[in-house]
Amino acid sequence: MHTLIIGSGFVGSALAQRIVDAADEAILASRNPPDLAFPWTPLDVTDPDACAKAIESTHCDSVVLVHGPSDVTWCNEHSGEAVRAHETAARNIADVAGARRIVMISTDNVFDGTDPAPAEDTPTNPTNAYGIAKLAAEQAIGQAPNSTTLRVSLIYGWEPADSTKWLNFFASCAHRLIAGEPIRERRHDIYLIDYRLGARTGRSNQAF
């Protein structure tokens, strides 16, 4: 099995490692080369021609969509751009993937948060631009004949302190503790067990 992973950031690179550990092949794709040892190909997933070429040239059997923008605050501040990026990308891949298996990593931000344990049939009602963008992408990818969407909650794991992106909560706490800085959450206390429970879906292990 040869998997094209679109998005070579926190989640995409962890997924590539899992695939390689399982003795399968993974190739990462993003606009900029990641500082990683995995095979990589340049791709702007919002470019339809580039998507067609990437699918052909990598000879992939399956595609995982796990690209950005992933920062909820950035998406709220650039809502049009966020929706265009996620929806266009999903449509592009749905158009060229053919019968290949597609997995898209979505988010529980497609819900409004009133149900503490939303299920597949819980009505969607995103309350932020990130959730709106990902829901639009879900609908676009659903047009492909062989797609699966995972509505994943919070993911935590190690990220380097000098990462140019936002850090997940666990990594950001770890770096603050290493630096001897206090950890403050402005709105309410967050305990790691709660954070882990927030990620419960039973669908996958979301801690890398």
Ligand X SMILES: NC(=O)c1ccc[n+]([C@@H]2O[C@H](COP(=O)([O-])OP(=O)(O)OC[C@H]3O[C@@H](n4cnc5c(N)ncnc54)[C@H](OP(=O)(O)O)[C@@H]3O)[C@@H](O)[C@H]2O)c1
Pairwise CA distance, residues 113 & 155, whole Å:
17
Q: Considering only residues 62, 70, 92, 147, which one is a binding residue for ligand X as defined by CB under 6 A?
A: 70
Q: Cα dist. 162→10, 11, 149, 166 in Å?
A: 13, 17, 31, 10
Nearer to ligand X by Cβ, of 100 and 153: the residue is 153
131 counts as binding ligand X under rule CB under 6 A: no
107 counts as binding ligand X under rule CB under 6 A: yes
155 counts as binding ligand X under rule CB under 6 A: yes
Nearest-approach distance from CB 169 to ligand X, in angstroms: 9
Interaction residues for ligand X, span 169-208 (CB under 6 A): none
43 counts as binding ligand X under rule CB under 6 A: yes
Nearer to ligand X by Cβ, of 12 and 118: the residue is 12
52 counts as binding ligand X under rule CB under 6 A: no
Name the E strands within the chain.
2-6, 25-30, 40-42, 62-65, 101-107, 147-152
Pairwise CA distance, residues 7 & 41, whole Å:
10
Q: Which residue has the tokens 């950890």?
A: 183
Tokens of 5: 């992973």
Nearest-approach distance from CB 20 to ligand X, in angstroms: 17
Q: Considering only residues 4, 27, 45, 102, which one is a binding residue for ligand X as defined by CB under 6 A?
A: 45
